[in-house]
Amino acid sequence: MIEKIRVIFEVKDLRNRILYTLLMLALYRLGTHIPVPGVDPKALESYMHSSAGILYNIYNLFSGGALGRLSVFALGIMPYISAAIIMQLLTAMVPTLERYQKEEGDYGRWKITQYTRYLTIAIATFQSMALSIWISNIHLPSGQSIITENPFFFIFMTTVIITTGTVFLMWIGEKITEFGIGNGISIIIMASIVVNIPTAIIRTYELLKAGDLSILKAVIAVAVIILVVAGIIYIQEAERRIPIQYTRRNIGIPTTQATYIPFKLNPAGVIPIIFAVAILMFPATIANFFANKSEIARIIAETLTPQSYIYFILYIGLIIFFTYFYTAIIINPNDIADNLRKSGAFIPGIRAGMQTAEYLNYVLSRLVFAGAIFLSAIAVLPMLLIKWLDVPFYFGGTSALIVVVVALDTLHQIEAHLAMKRYEGFIKR
């Protein structure tokens, strides 16, 4: 392993990309510890720990603890994720956006990126305003207010600061993608989750030492985590290889060269789970802000709490929907069949053209179904098990899947850079 790391840092371009990514992540972590002025941080932390539920824990997990401190990055990268979801849906429904994506090339992708940025600002503004209004109305049991400024001034200032922080965080993600290693947005989400692991380990150890947590429950929880991570790696790396042959002419004699098309068992990766979490968290968060003043908001908040079975059903349904939806966006069997025909390639036993497209669609639809069931099980089952075991930390297949998938994708990118420099791959197969 030490030798592999040494080889990685010998490649100048790869070394610069990794250092740039680490620098951007350090800047992000610094921002999560800069609180918004006008709020009592100790009073806010005390209220959050005593009154906030599991929804707050999930949101705080994805923001790297920034929400609990009401820092400039309190919303994390979730407004951008929400904007990306909306733009993906609009692209499939609005002809102009569809033309931008499919026919306009780089210009079209730039336009869609610009629309996503504008939508991110709108969503971040709305969410930060709702968050600041909610914070300004919080009072401790002693009657003390959490904020130390005039409510109107605090709401305006907090909305501007947190919205600006979200835009800056979006910029960090884009720069990591461009000049760093891996997908910037995914790297930020992974960093937000990983940073909570040491705290969870220390807390679990303290409870074990004090006797508040039994050793059996701790062992079962650790076993569940190991099995989930191993299952994610195994399934995420699994692929269906469809054999294809290229017809070549060698001195007038036709010959064939065999290769294959790799279809992942989970072609959509972690995107469906991120999209599903973002969609469910948005209305639930807004409803929680007004649960004390509106009966409808209270019902919505109770219905969409991650501990309810309705939440699990909606969660599974959204994961399955986005698995099919996102796979349809990134993989087009008709285009693959057309490219195979133009390059003189064919699938043995399948006629080129329409029959090839139908066959690829047949294989892909069954793979996507298996992948959707896998994603749903990984997302829901660990949460149920941890809930039944009553362990002192939040662990969900969602966070585990994001960390493992993003780590694997980043390692594959490192391996690709090493392969270009004719080094041995970082991951041995």
User: In angstroms, how far is CA 111 from the centroid of its own chain?
Assistant: 23
Query: How many of the other CB atoms lie within 10 Å of CB of 97?
Result: 19
Question: In degrees rounded to 5, what are phi and psi of residue 34?
Answer: -100, 105
Q: Is the pLDDT of residue 161 over 90?
A: yes
Distances (CA, A) of 346 to 342, 349, 361: 10, 9, 15
Model confidence over 205-252: pLDDT tens digits?
777 787 777 777 778 777 877 887 888 888 878 888 888 887 664 555
Considering the entire predicted model, what is its pTM? 0.77
Q: What pLDDT, on the 0 to 100 scale, is given for residue 121?
A: 94
Task: State the sign of the Cα–Cα–Cα–Cα dihedral 300, 287, 393, 81.
Answer: positive
Element (H, E) at 262: strand 253-264
Cα three-residue angle 175-75-285, rounded to 5 degrees: 145
Q: Is the pLDDT of residue 19 over 60?
A: yes
Distances (CA, A) of 32 to 60, 132, 217, 261: 11, 17, 33, 43
Work out the pLDDT band at 26, boundaries 50, 70, 90: very high
Q: Are 418 and 402 in contact (CB under 8 A)?
A: no
Higher pLDDT, 254 or 345: 345
Element (H, E) at 246: strand 239-250
Q: What pLDDT, on the 0 to 100 scale, is given for residue 57?
A: 64
- Report the percent of the chain where pLDDT is more than 90: 10
Q: What pLDDT, on the 0 to 100 scale, is given for residue 385?
A: 65
Give me the mean pLDDT over the 248-275 stretch. 71
Q: Is the pLDDT of residue 354 over 80?
A: yes
Q: Is the pLDDT of residue 168 over 90?
A: yes
Give me the mean pLDDT over the 320-325 stretch. 88
Average pLDDT over the chain, rounded to an integer: 79
Model confidence over 390-423: pLDDT tens digits?
655 555 567 777 788 888 888 888 887 777 765 5
For residues 318 and 311, give the distance between their C-alpha atoms in angstroms, rounded to a whole number: 10
Give me the mean pLDDT over the 342-365 stretch. 85
